[in-house]
Structure 1
Amino acid sequence: MNEVEKYIENFPEEVQQRLTKMREIIKELAPEASERICMGIPTYDLHGKWLVHFAGFRKHIGFYPQPEGITAFKEKLTQYKTSKGTIQFPLNKPLPEELIREIVNYRVEHQNG
């Protein structure tokens, strides 16, 4: 079991499922990205730069696609709490898998330059 799997294992089952889904999407769309724990949360690096991070919380999943990943999808994120570098996906709503895919794809394309 690697450090990201250990991180996910520390959450209740419902949160584990969502974190695992986030991880699967990122690994599928960015297979070249390295996976590690940075700042206490799962982090994916591509070409030596941060690609995305995610984290589990009591009431939401935090997704960190860098500020440009939020700016580019501002119109699609209106129903979620956001800040400069964070999107919060509440646990009482379905995980927006397609939106996460779009954002990860965007980040990969821009990281590949």
Structure 2
Amino acid sequence: MTKPTTIDEYVEAFPPPAQRQLSAIRELCRAAAPTAGEQLKWRHPAYVHTDGVILFMFSGHAKHASLAFTPSTRAAFADDLTGFHTGKGTVALPYGTAVPVDLVRRMLEYRVLEYEVHGVKWM
């Protein structure tokens, strides 16, 4: 597989179930940060504030998509994430299951405000 140079190429490199999940996540990211730039960072789609700070990222894996926020964003939603595999600042969303749209939207919006209001930078 060749290294993707765009987010479209990144998503298209996955099988259809993963593409659907990644596309849904991408739409939520775009809606939460409409002025953020879409860039590939460390080979993964990232949403970068107009002043250059990464807001959040997503990535595809063999069995799940992953959303990456700051650890403080993930921690703020700990009670809502009890049924998910999480990492320091990540949430795994298994393929074949519906994206929890309301939860993801709230997390994305929280992260934007966390940066814009409180100045919390990327990890």
Whether these two folds match at TM > 0.5 is yes
Q: How many residues align?
A: 112
SS in structure 1 of the partner of residue 97 of structure 2: coil
Within the candidate set 1, 6, 31, 2:9 is matched to 6
Further displaced range: 86-95 or 76-85: 86-95
CA distance in 2, matches of 1:36, 1:44: 6
**Deviation larger for 23-32 or 88-97:** 88-97
Structure 2 residue runs without a partner (length 5+)? 118-123
Q: Indicate the RMSD between aligned Cα atoms, in angstroms.
A: 1.2
1:18 and 2:21 aligned: yes
Structure 1 counterpart of 2:102: 98
The question of 1:40 aligning with 2:25 is answered: no
- SS at 1:37's partner residue? strand
What's 2:120 paired with? none
Aligned residue number for residue 60 of structure 2: 56
Partner of 2:69: 65
Residue 86 of structure 1, CA deviation:
1.3
Specify the code of the residue in structure 2 equivalent to 1:97. Answer: V
SS at match of 2:19: helix
Give CA deviations for 1:18-62 in whole Å, capped at 9, x if unaligned.
111111111112111111000110011113211000011111111
Whether the aligned pair in 1 keeps the contact of 2:45 and 2:57 (CA below 8 Å) is yes
CA distance in 1 between partners of 2:39 and 2:48 (Å): 8
Q: Percent same amino acid among aligned pairs? A: 32
Runs in 1 of length 4+ with deviation above 3 angstroms?
none
- Tell me the TM-score normalized by structure 2: 0.86
The structural deviation recorded for 1:71 is 0.6
Residue 37 of structure 2 aligns with an amino acid whose one-letter code is: S
Unpaired runs of at least 5, structure 1: none
